[in-house]
Amino acid sequence: MTDDIWKRDEIESPCIKICVIHPETRLCTGCLRTIDEITAWSRMTPDLRRKVMGELPSREAQHKQRRGGREARLKRA
């Protein structure tokens, strides 16, 4: 008996098991995908997965910006 499900020719998930959704960007802080992308991943075509994977590096900059600190609190006051 073979297990063909685990031998499929697919793009692997970018998940690194740090699954926390950033409150402002709404991206996973681990893999940088949106909730919709995460939930649809298993149903996406290989081309659509490649497209998402290509966009992930540009999303990383959104998480490098400081969100808080004294300056942010003063702006909200």
The pLDDT profile of the chain, 77 residues, written as one tens digit per residue, is: 555 555 556 678 999 999 999 998 999 999 999 999 999 999 999 999 999 999 999 998 887 765 566 666 666 66
Q: Give dist(CA 14, CA 72) in Å, integer.
A: 31
Question: What pLDDT is recorded for position 12?
Answer: 86
Q: Give dist(CA 1, CA 17) in Å, integer.
A: 30
Question: What pLDDT is recorded for position 63?
Answer: 76
Question: What pLDDT is recorded for position 61?
Answer: 87
On whether the pTM is more than 0.75, the answer is no
Q: Give dist(CA 54, CA 37) in Å, integer.
A: 13
DSSP state string for 8-47 = ---PPP---S---B-TTT-BBTTT--BHHHHHHGGGS-HH
Token pair in block for residue 48: 């659509």
